[in-house]
Chain A
Amino acid sequence: MRMVYTGLGPSGYYKAWYTDWPKSDRQFILGVRRLTNIRVASEPRTIAPTDPEMFDYPFIYSVECGHWNLTEQEVTALREYLNRGGFLFCDDFWGSWEWTNFERQISRILPGSKIVELPMSHPIFHSYYNINRIVQIPNVGNAMYSDQTHEQDGFHPHCRGIFDERGRLIVIINWNTDLGDAWEWADLPGFPARFSTYAYQIGINAIVYAMSH
């Protein structure tokens, strides 16, 4: 389920909740169905945090999180969602400016929480596939036509997280990498397989982790 949120830009702005929608979600679902025995709907859906139905889906995906500009209702709903046992997967935001905005927003949702770097020994990197390093996945343009993998000043990829008071990971933050593009363009012959492979691995690991912890 992809999260619909209030963003910083105007309607139609290229960095918003609908970035890569719907193809990246559809492609990702295909991968999950083929590679695991998780029962997942064949078509992707979107949902707003203020929609009570969001609580029927304990795993939610959000893209371009550096452009969150959440309303109070969205903040309250997301806080309750995570406290009840939901899991948030954040993806595709770059550089220090976007990080600062994201950090400000997440601290409204989970005041007092700490964002930590996830060690490679953490179970999320081994819940289905064994992942031994974080890969920086560039946007499709850079991936196919350039050697550059970063955007803005996001030179190094990070996989960070927020834990609840019982030590369960409830938010995974993929910063300085673009998993959505890797799912979306995995079917392109020219799109490097190593990027798609990592993207599917980390995505599936996150779902399996959320469904087993």
Chain B
Amino acid sequence: MTAIFELLFKYRPLLYERGTIAFDPYWPPYVTWILLAGALAGAWFIYRASAAALPWSWRYGLSSLRAAAFLVIILILLQPVLRIHSVLPQESFVAVAYDASKSMEIRDGPEGQSRLDVERHLLRSADNPWLDELGKKFKLRFFRFSHSAERVQAFEDTARHGQVTDLERTLDQISGELANVPAAGIVLITDGADNRSSDLDRTASRLRARNTPIYTVGIGSTSFLHDTEITGVTTARKVLRDTVMEAEVSVRSNGYAGRRARLLVLDRNRLLQNQEITLGSDGEVKVYRTHFSSQTGGPREFKFRVDPFQDEIIKENNDRTVLVEVDDAHPEILYVEGEPRWEYAFLRRAAVQDRNVRLVTLLRQADGKFLRQGIESPATLEKGFPTDRAELFKYKAILLGSVEASFFTFDQLRIISDFVSRRGGGFLMIGGRNSFGQGGYVNTPIQDMLPVNLGAGARDTQGFEDTEFKVRLTDYGYQHPITRISLAKDQNRKRWTDAPALVGFNRVAGPKPGATVLAMADSRAAGGADPVLLAFQRFGRGKSVAFTTASSWRWKMGNVHSDNFQELFWKQMLRWLVSDVPDPVGTGTEESYYAPDETAVIRAEVNDESFLPLNNAQVTAQVKSPSGRSTPLHFSWDVEKDGSYVAAFKPEEEGIYEITSEAFQGSRSLGRAKSNFLVAGSTKEFHNASMNSALLKRLASESGGRYYTPDNAGTIAEDISYIDKGSSSHLEEKELWDMPFLFLLLVGLISAEWILRKRRGLA
């Protein structure tokens, strides 16, 4: 299109965009008006003589064609020019920045060339004269960039390529270098695979305001014909040892629609999970759930991999590493049971086998008579269920057995609700004759929290059904960590199918809209629509679970003694309830791993005993490097978020770092927290690595520049020369009278008039 435009209008579109059209006739303006009037009158009178022979529409049409031809001639005589500012040679500076990040190693160029090869060819003046032409018009400054920009003399080959690409920082740095000189623009040669910038549009707008447009040259393919890529992994960053972990792995593929691949999870080189997946259609990102567990404590690097196909261009993006802290903590759970019953005994037996979770129980044996178990000191729960938040919030989860709402004061019910919504704790209600609607929980804060509807009315709207039933998991129920008895999918399904029947459940009025149902009671045994058996929902910062039966002990008594189904169910349940439950002081990095060139941003969240955020704490940390060296850090308050503090740390070694943060109010310690992060040569550059032409085009247009490919980059020198206006520019006038378009227009008008006259039989 540009070539056709240039053919017709003599110059490229950019010159018309940047310039203005003017006229430079040899005579004064009144002569122009006389000529115009004369042309119109002349065209009219030529056909006035033929008025009788022609209908008025023909007369008007032919007159118009003749007038238009006269006007084109007058236009040519008026000496049209294109006035455009162009820079004075060697008065301005142009920055030429080329990408030296790892993604430039990708071999997606013609004949298997790497992007770096294409870049080298572009910047070697022997192969491409545009750089020489640019050098004649401007003073050039060269930069090499990846995570930041570095001034160089010319294109330099280097074996060490950057681990990340930060265009925002690069442009800011270059802009800073050109701040004190007249700058005509920045030539940015890159694949646009930015994985660090947060607000490029603002950078581009700033450069536009300074009359420093960006001319982007996109290197590489915009999509890969054959590639699978793990675009992201979502998993908990902290779990208890030996917990079944769930990860959501997002995979994008091109060229392998419907084909099967293997998704692997590795702990160093130990295979934890190997599952078959079916890839989506080209460009589609599919999310796969996978489960695994680690029995080794401490910070663990879990690698997720999709086995690459032979013909993939990039194999490095088939891996993603996530750092997870496998904790050996001992979170406490408070279980209040309203009556001695088998569910209580068997649940406790399962919990006691878990060396990490500590179950503290308060069992009502008779009116006013309680048995406390799992307590650390005689004073624990001495006065019964806690009445203040500080005491209750020490726990990470609360279980309520068959205990009626009237057992608690309204304040205690409110505190339980705050425990979940504000503190972020886990909550479980277990079925029984004093649970759910039968327990009088309608119109209480607990009702709001539960993932199931209790119906209307103050007491027992739905009833307790004493029938035998089999458990039927929902589709998601087969995948959730609570119900993941076996890591192998088929085996998990079989174990649930073979599990003994249960007896008795609280019938509720269905799940709430935001709740997730994991299991139902088989309706053939229970009658009516499938009753909800196990469901959960997020409530504020925490989570709430409903388990409407109290007969899971039958999974133990009804199975051979070596079968650990019941124990595993409760182990997963309790661990899931305490997972992600925050401590009063928390710390961590924004990313779980960083490349060696990057700065780690460390955050601390500080709350008081009631989990209200504190903004006036003093927060410090020690960061221990892999080699054992400790560096102190001081945090500053993040004004945008209550209770949040931030610090930056520049790592110098690769490996796992440990952060120990502590918050103080005066001399009183509010608590400590530990976290880890990984510094390693990353594969970030190979993820989302297709040439991002959309980003580069936007960057160019926002800054007033243009976007090029290597094929048309030769016009950069000329394009940069023409600017809107500047102190280092002069005004050029380019003649337009000899535009081929005007000649073609004139010939066209005359020919059209001649053809029409012949048709009417005129001479």
A residues neighboring B (CB under 8 Å): 35-39, 55-56, 58, 80, 83-86, 127-128, 166, 168, 207-208, 210-213
Contacts and interface: CB of A to CB of B under 8 A. Distances in A.
B747 interface: no
Contact of A58 (B342, B352, B364): B342
Contact of B340 (A85, A86, A211): A211
Given A211-B345, A212-B344, A38 B339 contact: yes
Contact of B556 (A84, A127, A207): A84
B340 A38 contact: yes
B554 A56 contact: yes
Interface in B225-264: none
Nearest to B338: A37
A166 B353 contact: yes
29 contacts: A37-B339, A37-B340, A37-B364, A37-B365, A37-B366, A38-B341, A38-B365, A39-B339, A39-B433, A55-B558, A58-B345, A58-B553, A58-B557, A84-B557, A84-B559, A85-B345, A85-B557, A85-B561, A86-B557, A128-B365, A128-B369, A208-B371, A210-B345, A211-B341, A212-B344, A212-B345, A212-B348, A213-B345, A213-B349
A168 B340 CA distance: 17
Given A168-B349, A213-B345, A36 B365 contact: yes
A39 B341 contact: yes
Given A36-B340, A38-B339, A208 B365 contact: yes
Contacts of B173: none
B306 interface: no
Interface string B380-408: 00000000000000000000000000000
Contacts of A86: 557
A102 B561 CA distance: 24
B561 A83 contact: yes
B363 interface: yes
Nearest to B563: A84
Given A37-B340, A84-B556, A208-B365, 19 more contacts: A36-B340, A37-B364, A37-B365, A37-B366, A55-B558, A58-B557, A80-B560, A83-B561, A84-B557, A85-B556, A85-B557, A127-B371, A166-B349, A207-B340, A208-B371, A211-B340, A212-B345, A212-B373, A213-B345
Contact of B366 (A36, A168, A210, A213): A36
Interface of B is mostly: mixed
B349 A37 contact: no
Nearest to B343: A211
A212 B560 CA distance: 22
B344 A211 contact: yes
B346 A85 contact: yes
A37 B367 contact: yes
Nearest to B566: A85
B557 A55 contact: yes
Contacts of B349: 85, 166, 168, 213
Interface residues of B, number: 29
Contacts of B339: 37-39
Given A37-B364, A38-B340, A212 B561 contact: no
Contacts of A83: 561
Give the one of A80, A166, A168, A211 with max B CB within 10 A.
A211
Interface of B: 338-342, 344-346, 348-349, 352-353, 363-367, 369, 371, 373, 433, 553-554, 556-561
Contacts of A38: 339-341, 365
Task: Give the 7 A-B residue pairs with the shortest CB-CB distance, closest first.
Answer: A83-B561, A211-B340, A84-B561, A55-B557, A211-B345, A37-B339, A36-B366
Contacts of B373: 212
Nearest to B558: A55
A166 B365 contact: no
B63 to A, nearest CB: 109
B348 A56 contact: no
A207 B556 CA distance: 19
Contact of B348 (A58, A80, A213): A213
Contacts of B365: 36-38, 128, 208
Nearest to B561: A83
A38 B402 CA distance: 12
B363 to A, nearest CB: 6
A35 B366 contact: yes
A128 B373 CA distance: 13
Contacts of A37: 338-340, 364-367
B340 A208 contact: yes
Nearest to B432: A39
Nearest to B557: A55
A56 B466 CA distance: 14
Nearest to A208: B340
Contacts of A85: 345-346, 349, 553, 556-557, 561
B351 to A, nearest CB: 12
Nearest to B352: A166
A187 B35 CA distance: 136
A198 to B, nearest CB: 19
Nearest to B337: A212
Contacts of A84: 556-557, 559-561
- Which of B345, B364, B366 has its CB near the most chain A CB atoms (within 10 A)? B345
A201 to B, nearest CB: 13
A210 B346 CA distance: 10
Nearest to B503: A56
B554, B556, B557 — most chain A CB neighbours (10 Å):
B557
Contacts of A39: 339, 341, 433
B434 to A, nearest CB: 10
A78 to B, nearest CB: 12
Contact of A56 (B340, B346, B557, B561): B557
B368 to A, nearest CB: 11
B505 to A, nearest CB: 16
